[in-house]
Each structure stands twice: as structure tokens, then as C-alpha cells.
Structure 1
Amino acid sequence: MANRRFELFEYRHILVRMRRGDSDRDIARRRLMGRAKLAAVRQEAQSRGWLDPAQRMPEDAEIANVFNSIPRQVPSSSISTAEPYREQVREWFAAGVQGTTIHAALQRNHGYTGSYDAVKRMLRGLAAERVVKATTILTFAPAEAAQVDFGAGPVLTHESGIPLKTWIFVMTLCWSRHQYAEVVLDQTVETWLACHRRAFEWFGGCPSRVTIDNAKCAIIRHCLHSPEVQRSYAGLAEAYSFRIDPCPPHDPPKKGIVESGVKYVKKSFVPLREFRDLADANRQLREWIMQQAGVRDHGTTHEQPLTRFAIERPLLTRLPDVPPVLAVCSEVKVHTDGHVVYKKALYSVPFKLVGKQLWLKVTDTVVQAFHRHELVATHPRLRKPGDRHTVRDHQPPEAQAWLEHDPQWCLARAKDIGPACHAVILAMFNNTVLVNLRGAQGIVRLREKVGDARLNAACERALAFSSPHYRTIKTILDKGLDNEAAASSTTTAPTDTYLNGGRFGRDLQSLLIH
């Protein structure tokens, strides 16, 4: 009993018995206090005149002030063997080191010979000294706030047999405790925004503020004083006229209402149920909210959430007449091929922006690219990874020319130039080894330099020598041989064969003769 801590009412009871004349032996026999302690109490009470029945009984505060200041006498035999190491043990205990490890370290490093029980008693005392952090119960007015969180959902089976991990999105109205919940397959920004819109439509209105944690789909830089909100989520808040209230980092109790709501869904709805697919899971979840969760006697409010929600619903902010378009903003870099990537799909932008940072605004149907707040590209939304949407005007001029001047374009232009040119281009495309598209494009572009007549004449001469190639025609034009008839070389003397120079001075017949 020497180490026992006595309460105020016990001191008062003992003083009453002493004023009545009971001896220390009689009081100790009742096992109210040890005789050594009683002697100290009697001495202190007599010095203050408290044992005189004619005097008034001291007030509780006065008794507590006197006896709490009396140092407790601890027999030397009761001093812990671990007492010399208290500060070291306190440091280890604060660092989270377990008791057996502390005992082993004392034996190894300090030659400690005491028992583990002594260390355990000291640790128990140190734990009692810890100040318990007090919390505050937050109160909310109707329609003032909602809290949002994700929790682990049931594992669904894909039609291929692959198990799918899911999450449960939960939004709880803080006053009524009515909630919206949805099973989802991911925690992306798109899912986050869409779940908010469906939750507001479920409630038929919007609360004044939404308390969230620091999920990446909502907060891109968490900070106690200056959190940075994801641009897409900020746009949603503006469209629905609610304010975002992020919790301080690593402080989930600040949204304890939805934390409890997530646990309730996980423990009451998920177990012992079977789900065919995602749609079936959400159908069952909605029925459970309306038929069970919404009509239960809530443990905090002691009312049914749906009953309180009937009062709260008219006070919610009215939803916009036209639902806002949900848009995800994403910063991307333009690759050297003039495309940006979003969800593994490629979208073209003007080639001059290669290497620049752009912002994409992505809706369910459209992808828009912005550079310094200027819209530079618009594309339809692609869903399949690897798909690409390219606008031809976004490509460099040489690439545009290559893409636009296809074989049909070359044949059409050659036909306009003349029949010989058309025959040359057709012969080039009939080559069984080479594509010859660039050569055909080069021949057609020669019209800009020499005109249609000369080009067609050069093609006619090239055909006469069975050489329908770009280099052949270019050489004929450079040496001015297009003005000579292809058959004139047959009547020319062998000595005159090379007068005009070049391999095209003679025809095939003259080559065979000589």
C-alpha cells in the first residue's frame, strides 16, 4: 500500500474519522491507509488545525493542495533496479523500441542484472506519463459540409476470369449522415470527378464545402497552410459552387465522419455478398443504402439518416441547370514526332511546338491542347491504347508533301503534263522492286522549272530509250536533249554519234549495230 495513490475523497474520509477520534490503528485495520501514511497525514492535519471538531472541515481544493504536495516516501527496497537507466529507457521507449529489446540492450551495453519485469513496470509507468492528445467534436449545420474518402472494395471477377481490385467511393453529409457510395475500378481524376457529380445528383443538391484528404486525384501538393488543388477538381468546385477543404497532412480524424462511413460500408455491406459484375455491385450498394444504411438508428445522431436528410435536402445548393462538362487537365510534353500522349493514345499538335510543355483539357469526347492559354489542337477522344489521331496540317511541310502527293496525285498531275509523262509515272509505279514515289514526285515537280512541254518531251525521249527514271529525265533536261527527236540518232553517222555528248546521243538500234 506504500506506493498506492490516494484520491481526494479518501483523504476527506480519513480526516473525518480522525476528527471523530479514531486511532491510526483503527483506520489501518479498515485497510483505508497504511499506518506510516496515516501518521504523516495526522501530523499535517494537526499542524493546520483540521482535527479540531470545533473547526470547519477544509475545502476539497485545500485538502488536495496540501496532500498532493507531500512527497511520497518510497522505501529503498522498492526502488526499481532499472531506475539508473530511466532516461535511456525513456529515449528508447519514445523511439518505439519494444521492451524485450530494451532489456537485452541494457544487459549487453550496461551490464544490467535486473529482470525483464522491472523493465516492463518502468515502461508501463512511462506509458502512463504520456499526455493523451485531446480531440474536439466538430458540429455541422444542415447542408454545411460533406466528407469524401475511398476505401478498399470487393474483388470482382472479370469475364475472362481475372480478379479485379476495386475501391468504394463514399461521400457522407456531415449533418444527416446520409451517404452516397459507389464501387469503382480506379482512383483516377476522371473517376474522382464523375463520382462527385453522381453523388450530387444522388443528393439532389450540393453542400457548401467538401472535406477531403490529400489524394493525388484532388491535391497535387499537400501542405498544412497552402495546399495546391488539382486544376480539374478546382474547376468542378467552381461549377458546383462548393469549396474544397483538404485535411492537414497525416490527420485523417479531421474527416472522421466519412472514415466511420467507409468502415461501416466495408463491414456491413461487402461481407457475405456475391457480385456478378461492377453494375451489379453498385445496384446492390444503392439498395443497401436506401433500405438498410439510411433507415438505421445512427450511433451518433440516434436518428435515421434519411429522416434527417429530408430536412437537409432543401437546404443544399441547387444543382446547375446544365451539368458541367467534366474535364481533366494534364500537363504533357510534345514528342519529336509532333504528338502528345494521354492514356497511351497519341494526338498531334503543330510541329513548331516540339519539346514544349502543353496543357491538355480532356473530356469524355474531346481532347484539347493549349500552349500558353492558346488553343493549338482539338481531337476526338481515343480509347484504345496505341491509337493515334494526326491532323495533316500539324506536320512539317515536307511531311505534308509526302502524305498529300500520293501515287494517285502523281498520276493525275502527270496526265495534265502530257501522255509521255503519264506513261513514265505509270511505268515507275509498275516497278516490281521499288516504290518510286519520291522519284515520281520529283518528276512532277520539274514542271515548275521547265514547263509541261519540255518535261513531256524529255519523258518521251526517256521512253524511247527504255529508261523511265528521274535521273534520266533530269539529265535530258539539263543537257537540252529534249528538243531532239528520239529517232534522229538512227540516221546519224557513227562518228557523229557523240557530237551532242552523253549516253542519250544514240538510240538502242545504233548501239546494237556498232
Structure 2
Amino acid sequence: MPKEKRLSMRKIREILRLRHECNLSTRQISASARVSTGAVSKYLKLFEKSGLSWPLPDDMDDSALINRLSPETSNRKHQGFIEPDWTEVHSSLKRKGMTKQLLWEEYCEVYPHNAYSHSQFCHRYNEWCKKQKRSMRQQHKGGEKLFVDYAGLTVPIASKETGETSPAQIFVAVLGASNYTYAEATWTQGSVDFIGSQVRAFQFFGGVPEMLVPDNLRSAVTKACRYDPEINRSYQHMAEHFGCSILPARPYKPKDKAKVEAGVQLVERWILMRLRHTTFFSLSELNWEIRRLLEDLNHRPFKQLPGCRRSQFELLDRPALSPLPRQPYEYLEFKMARVNIDYHVQFSSHYYSVPHQLVREQVAIRGSHNTVQILYKGKPVTSHVRQYAAGGFTTKPEHMPKRHQKQQQWTPGRLLRWAQKLGPDVLRFTRQLLDGKQHQEQAYRACLGLLNLEREYGQQRLNAACDRAIKTGGRRVGNVRSILKSGLDKVPIELPQESDNERVTRSHENIRGAGFFQ
């Protein structure tokens, strides 16, 4: 059976007026006020049991009247209610495991004859919450959530040498229960800086919350979605290390991040605005000032609640935070890559080898400051010491096919000594092949292909072919092979004949030699 809807206070007052001032019957009141006879009888009986008299006191508002007319109130022997301390109730509910039922029971033990019923207790608490600031309406348990974001304002940092300025980003983290705030400056909002700020926030708080609530910036969320957001892999790894979960704020849901937005606003007003006339020359200078003013912000008393952020942190959040892990955190970069035909994958502009059997397969790369680990289908297949030379190659011999392992035994010196034995022109072309590559290892196969032509054509023809290729601009082994196949190595090289016009132009009196310009 659906619950009967409570009449408005205007209707209830009208029912009482019609009975006590107009002496109307129940049916007449029902017709006049357009409410059921049952409702009229109910409120007239409640009024009789309440002990009130007509006319009502001038200072009795609607809230006081409905409390006196409620069934729980009219059945009590003592009508003087004692209002709970709602600020204390509000603070207590932030403690982990605390419930309204328990607080109501404790309230009844203190005031057994003057306490509200459980339903009235909850109703009046909810009404009190509605009167508070909007940011206080959400309740957060101690140690439950840490809200993180960046301030909209930046702080310029000047170069001592040039005077040019670069903007520093301001990271802000706010604990949900106590509003205890952490802030710092970094150069970017990139993944390394963002995660580093999170780690330093944990160290500042001395513990780890259950959940992190970031906005949908790229460093936290790779793909935003209201129902199933894709978390940045490096950020997820950090959360796993510290034993917490990530709950991104939903797109276009400002209430989800109201805490940190209020914290950002406070940091901008109470910290950044105070620093607007100060010139900073380094991040460390700026962060020292931020930390000093942050201490003042966290000790500033609340306007509508008892205590300050620091005292509420000690009371609510600190006892509920998980301890920091003993093993220090190490930042990891993640990347998916397909193995190239040369059995190498690129990571941060450097190339690392994998077993050649994985050519064209997709692998996962996990890089720390010192190592690069490569995984296939979730299983590690190899690791390398991380290198930072852009364009360089790091290769393990066991990753090569057998024919490439034999090639690995060659060196530029060994190739040049072999070429020298075959003749001066072969040596010149071999040097040209080695010098034509950024990494000489890339020319080894070409050099071996050139030198092995001697077995088929002999030293004399190979030297002649190399000489002809050099003079005609050939730079590939294929040019030498074509010359040998076509027999051009046996034909003298003919220089192009000069035309009459070229000879006239070359001897013209207006043509100045190179000495004229010296």
C-alpha cells in the first residue's frame, strides 16, 4: 500500500483554523479544504494529543508545529526536545564505520525523554545539511578519497640569464573527509610530473587513501568514459604499487570533483594571489613558498564547522590512511609495439632487440629509469639496460638468426683488411659503403656481398668495376654487380666530349677565375 502523502503546512493550519475558529464539522472541513475526511480526523486528533491550544503561539514556525503534531511526539510524556549538535554529528559521520543509527542511539542514551525519534533525527540532520554550503553536502569517510587536479592559474618562473619566463603548473590534492590540502609546482602536467606529484602528496599525508579521484586529464585517463574509463597504464601501475584504486570523475559531472575544485579555488586565493608580486627563478624557490603558505591554509579555522583542516585531518583521515609501502616507487612507462623485420622494437627513440621468432608480433614494453622489459602475451621475454642514445641499437646476439650471428662476428677493421687484400679500388668502395651509414653495422651485409663477388669475377675485374662505379657515382653493391654482369668493367671509361659552345664559354674574356673573388 503506498505511503500517504503528508499535507502541506498551509493545509494543516487551515484545518485547525476551520475547526477552532469556524466550528466546522469534519465533513465540512474536508469539503472546504479539499482533503479527505480521514486526513482531517488524523490531524485534529494529533492536535488534541499535542497539548497545544488555539490560537497557536506567534513564534511557532512550521517546523516546530509539525514536530508537535508527529505521532512520535504526541505520544511522549515530555514535550521538550533537545536538538542534537549537528556539526558534531556531521563530523562523526565522516569517521570510517560510523552510522546515523549508532549516533541516534547514543543521543537517546544522553536524553532518553527529550530525544527525537530515529526518523526525525535523520530528517532534521538532512535538513541541516541542505542549509550548509553545497560543498559540504557530499559525505566522505576518513581516508576514503583523495581528489586531485591542477589549478587554472600558473606561476611564471624567470631565467636569471635571459629574463624569459616559463609557466609552472600548480598541482592540488584534497582529502575528502578533512579537506586537508597539498599543493606543489611542476613544469608540466605530463605523466611523469603528475604521478610524481601524487607520490609526494602521499608522503606529505603520511599514508595512502583508498581511492584517487582525478579529473580526466591525459596523464590519468587515456580514454574518458562515464561508465568504463581507460586509465593511463603508468598511473594504474602507481596505484597498484601503493595499494589504492582510481575512480576518475565522470565527464560533465562537476559534483564528482567539487572537493578539489573548492581546494583549487582556496589555493589560488590564499597562496597564488599572495605570490603574484614575487619573482621566482626556480621551482624549488616557488615550492618553498607554497609549502609555507600551505601550512597557514591548513591551520585556518573553518567558518561553519569546528576546528581546521589540520585538526580534522588528525581526527578523521590520518587514522584511516593505509601505511606507505616499504619498497620505494619507481616510475614505469608503458608502450605497445610491433616487432620490426629486423627483430627490434623502438622505445623512447632507441631500438632494442627481441627474439627473432617474434618478428611482426605485438609486444608490450615496460621501461623504468634503468631497464627496459619486453613482454609477449603478458610473459617477459627479454630485458635490456636502458639506453638514451637516440637512434641507437641495443642487440643481444642470442636474439639473432644464426646467419646474422655469424655476421655479428665481423668488424669494420676486419672487413677493411679483407678489402685491402683484394685491391685498392675494392678498398675505396668498401670504405664508401661503411661511411655511407650512420651506424657502420648497417653496412656489414653490403660489404660482405661486395667482397664475395671476387669469388665469381676475380680481383682484377672486381677492382675495375669498383673504380668505374666510384667514377660514375655508383654507391651501392648493386651498381658494381651490374657493371660486372654487363662487362662494362672491361670497357674504358669515356669522358663526355665538350661542345664548341662549352669551349668558347670556358675561354671567354668576361669569365673570371676563382682568384678574382679572393
TM range (shorter): 0.5 to 0.7
- Which residue number corresponds to residue 294 of structure 2? 289
Q: Distance in 2 between matches of 1:310 and 1:232?
A: 31
Change (3 A) 1:185 1:471: closer
Deviation per CA, 1:99-130, whole angstroms, max 9, x where unpaired?
Answer: xxxxxxxxxxxxxxxxxxxxxxxxxxxxxxxx
Which residue type is aligned with residue 392 of structure 2?
A: H
Superposition pairs of residues 424-503 of structure 1, within 5 angstroms = 424-425=422-423, 428-429=426-427, 441-442=448-449, 445=452, 462=460, 468=463
Change (3 A) 1:359 1:309: same
Shift of 1:296: 0.4
Shift of 1:337: 6.8
Tell whether the 8 Å contact from 2:430 to 2:447 is kept in structure 1 after alignment.
Answer: no
Q: Distance in 2 between matches of 1:396 and 1:161?
A: 56
Deviation per CA, 1:55-103, whole angstroms, max 9, x where unpaired?
Answer: 9979999xx9xxxxxxxxxxxxxxxxxxxxxxxxxxxxxxxxxxxxxxx
Of the candidates 313, 317, 320, which is equivalent to residue 322 of structure 2? 317
Using CA pairs below 8 Å that are at least 6 residues apart, which structure has the higher relative contact order? 2
Q: Distance in 2 between matches of 1:366 and 1:406?
A: 27
Change (3 A) 1:316 1:335: same
Superposition pairs of residues 66-145 of structure 1, within 5 angstroms = 137-145=137-145
| 1:390 aligned onto 2:393 | yes
For structure 2, which runs of at least 5 residues remain unmatched after alignment?
A: 1-8, 24-28, 41-47, 57-61, 67-133, 435-442, 468-486, 490-518
Tell whether the 8 Å contact from 1:347 to 1:388 is kept in structure 2 after alignment.
Answer: yes
Superposition pairs of residues 17-36 of structure 1, within 5 angstroms = none
Calculate percent identity across the aligned residue pairs: 23
Aligned length: 355
Shift of 1:203: 1.3
Shift of 1:468: 4.2
TM-score by length of 1: 0.55
Shift of 1:401: 7.7
Q: What SS class does the counterpart of residue 199 from structure 1 fall into?
A: helix
Q: Which moved more, 1:176-185 or 1:373-382?
A: 373-382
Which residue type is aligned with residue 253 of structure 2?
A: D
- Which residue number corresponds to residue 373 of structure 1? 378
Change (3 A) 1:470 1:397: farther
TM-score by length of 2: 0.54
Shift of 1:204: 1.4
Q: What SS class does the counterpart of residue 264 from structure 2 fall into?
A: helix
Which residue type is aligned with residue 332 of structure 1?
A: A
Shift of 1:444: 5.4
- Which residue number corresponds to residue 208 of structure 1? 210
Of the candidates 177, 180, 184, which is equivalent to residue 178 of structure 1? 180
Q: Distance in 1 between matches of 2:332 and 2:430?
A: 51
Shift of 1:262: 1.0
CA RMSD of aligned residues (A): 5.0
Deviation per CA, 1:256-292, whole angstroms, max 9, x where unpaired?
Answer: 22221111111221124223232222221111112x1
Which residue type is aligned with residue 348 of structure 1?
A: Y
- Which residue number corresponds to residue 499 of structure 1? none
Change (3 A) 1:336 1:192: farther
Q: What SS class does the counterpart of residue 321 from structure 1 fall into?
A: coil
For structure 1, which runs of at least 5 residues remain unmatched after alignment?
A: 1-5, 21-40, 50-54, 65-133, 415-420, 473-501, 505-514
Q: Distance in 2 between matches of 1:258 and 1:364?
A: 31
- Which residue number corresponds to residue 266 of structure 1? 268
Tell whether the 8 Å contact from 2:145 to 2:213 is kept in structure 1 after alignment.
Answer: yes
Shift of 1:15: 6.5
Question: Which structure has the greater CA radius of gyration?
Answer: 1
Change (3 A) 1:503 1:287: closer
Tell whether the 8 Å contact from 1:379 to 1:389 is kept in structure 2 after alignment.
Answer: no
Q: Distance in 1 between matches of 2:325 and 2:351?
A: 32
Change (3 A) 1:152 1:405: same
Of the candidates 310, 314, 320, which is equivalent to residue 306 of structure 1? 310
